[in-house]
Structure formats: structure tokens, C-alpha cells
Amino acid sequence: PYYVMPNRDLFVRATLYSAQPNLMLFTDTCVVSPNPHDFTTVASDIIRGGCVRDPTYRSYLSPDRRIVQFRFRAPSFIGRYSSVYLQCQMVVCNRYDFSSRCYQGCIRRGKRSTRD
């Protein structure tokens, strides 16, 4: 466990350990929730679909593409719960596949047409 007070910065670092040096790591989605089994009902999106959703989010570049580092301010709702959970979905890509999900970045879902 990591203890943090509401409205304080939380630092996150994810590292991909692999014998293959040509892999890279990309953060697709990170969500904070008081329920470890439900990240939709009471939740705060930090990143969704590669798009930053939290205005307090700041990334830290690393020369090693297998390391992702960022910080964000702990949501104020965490003070109402004894524990909160951070769930992140990471993507592993070939470093030289420029058409991979890692290089697509933020993907905003378009609105679907209601016309036939």
C-alpha cells in the first residue's frame, strides 16, 4: 500500500522488464476508485484511451522507453474512503512499429451517427 492524503501528489512509475530491448510501454488508461472491483461507479479518470483526463497529471520523460512515469493529485473523494485503488492498463509495443498503439497516442471516440 501507498499512503497519500487528499489533494497531494501521487507519483507513479511503471517499468517493463524484458530481455527484448526493442519493446516500449504506453499508458492507455488509469483510473482511481474506492472499489477494487468497480472502476466506473465512483471513479476518477487520470488517463482514458491515451488521453489525459486529469488536469493535475504531469508526465516525466524517461530515456528508456520501457519506463513510464507520471504524477497526479490524489482526488478529493479519497478522504471519504479508507482505501482507494489505482488501476492502469498498459500497452507493450515494438519500439520500431510506428503504426502500433503506442505511437497512436490519444484516441478520442467519435460520436456515432444516428442516421441510417
The residues spanned by each domain of the chain are 8-96
Asked whether the beta carbons of 71 and 2 are under 8 A apart, the reply is: no
pLDDT for the residue 110:
57
Question: What are the start-end ranges of the H helices in the chain?
Answer: 101-104
Just give the CATH number of 8-96: 2.60.40.4100
Ranges of residues in the chain with a pLDDT under 70 are 1, 109-116
pLDDT for the residue 42:
82
Cell match 507519483: residue?
11
- Phi-psi bin for 87: left (phi > 0), alpha (psi -120 to 50), beta? beta
pLDDT for the residue 116:
44
